[in-house]
C-alpha cells in the first residue's frame, strides 16, 4: 500500500494530474469533494460552521452559504477559523476511506488531492502531514498561469468585463497568499510535476512517475 499526498497551489492543475493518475489505477480522494459532502445539511462541518459563525452563513433553504463563508475566510481574514472546523473532519474522513481501500486492495496507491497538505495544522489526531503520507507529489505552475486558470474557471461560459477580471485576479492573489510558496513545497516534496505548458507534458511526467509509485506500493 502507498499513501500519496497530491498537492499544488490554486490553479496548478493538481486535479488534472489526479485524473491522469486515476487512469493508471490510483484511487483518488479529493479533499474538496469530501469537504462538500461534510458541509451538507446536518453533516459535521455544517454543524460546526453554524455553531461558530451563526445563522448568517445559512441560506433560506437551510444549506450553507458558501459565498458568505468565502467572504469570511478571504475578505475578512478569518480563514484559520474555518480551517480549524473543517480540516480535522475532512482529514479523519480521508483516513477512514483510505483504510477501507487498503482492506480491499492491500497494494493500492491511494492519492489524497489537497491544496493545503503542508499548510494545515489540524490533523485528525493532531498529527501533521508526515504521519499521513508515504510520498508527496507537488504540481507546480508559474503564478501568471495559476491566476489565468482561476479566472478562466470562474468565468466559464460567460463574458466578463475588465473590472470583473481584475477582481478575480485579485481574489486569486489573495488565495495564493494564504498558501506557502512552490519553492518551500518543493523542498518538502518527493516528486515535483511542472504544469505550465501543454497537457501532453504533464501526461508524460505522470506516465514516468506511475511505475515508481506502483512499485513502492
Is 12 annotated in a binding site? The answer is: yes
What the block records as the C-alpha cell of 209 is 512517475
Is 156 annotated in a binding site? The answer is: no
185 is in an annotated binding site: no
Q: How many other C-beta atoms lie within 10 A of the C-beta of residue 91?
A: 23
Instruction: Tell whether residue 13 is among the known ligand binding residues.
Output: yes
Given a contact cutoff of 8 angstroms between Cβ atoms, the answer to whether 84 and 72 are in contact is no
Nearest to 115 by CA among 10, 190, 3: 10
| CA 205 remoteness from chain centre | 20
Cell numbers 505550465: residue: 196
User: Would the annotation count 15 as a binding residue?
Assistant: yes
Residues comprising the chain, all counted? 217
**Maximum CA pair distance of the chain?**
52
Residue positions forming the annotated binding site? 11-16
Which residues make up each annotated binding site for ATP? 11-16
Amino acid at each position: 500500500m502507498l499513501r500519496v499526498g497530491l498537492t499544488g497551489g490554486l490553479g496548478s492543475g493538481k486535479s488534472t494530474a489526479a485524473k491522469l493518475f486515476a487512469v493508471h489505477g490510483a484511487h483518488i480522494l479529493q479533499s474538496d469533494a469530501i469537504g462538500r459532502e461534510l458541509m451538507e445539511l446536518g453533516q459535521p462541518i455544517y454543524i460546526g460552521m453554524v455553531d461558530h459563525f451563526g445563522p448568517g452563513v445559512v441560506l433560506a433553504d437551510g444549506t450553507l452559504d458558501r459565498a458568505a463563508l468565502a467572504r469570511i475566510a478571504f475578505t475578512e481574514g478569518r480563514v484559520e477559523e474555518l480551517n480549524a472546523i473543517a480540516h480535522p473532519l475532512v482529514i479523519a474522513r480521508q483516513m477512514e476511506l483510505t483504510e477501507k481501500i487498503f482492506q480491499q486492495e492491500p497494494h493500492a496507491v491511494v492519492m489524497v488531492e489537497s491544496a493545503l497538505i503542508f499548510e494545515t495544522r489540524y490533523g485528525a489526531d493532531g498529527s501533521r502531514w508526515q504521519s499521513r503520507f508515504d510520498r508527496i507529489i507537488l504540481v507546480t505552475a508559474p503564478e501568471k498561469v495559476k491566476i489565468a486558470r482561476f479566472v478562466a474557471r470562474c468565468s466559464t461560459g460567460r463574458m466578463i468585463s475588465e473590472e470583473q477580471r481584475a477582481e478575480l485576479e485579485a481574489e486569486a492573489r489573495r488565495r495564493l497568499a494564504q498558501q506557502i510558496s512552490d519553492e518551500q513545497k518543493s523542498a518538502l516534496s518527493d516528486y515535483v510535476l511542472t504544469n505550465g505548458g501543454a497537457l501532453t507534458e504533464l501526461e508524460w511526467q505522470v506516465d514516468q512517475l506511475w511505475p515508481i509509485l506502483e512499485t513502492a506500493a
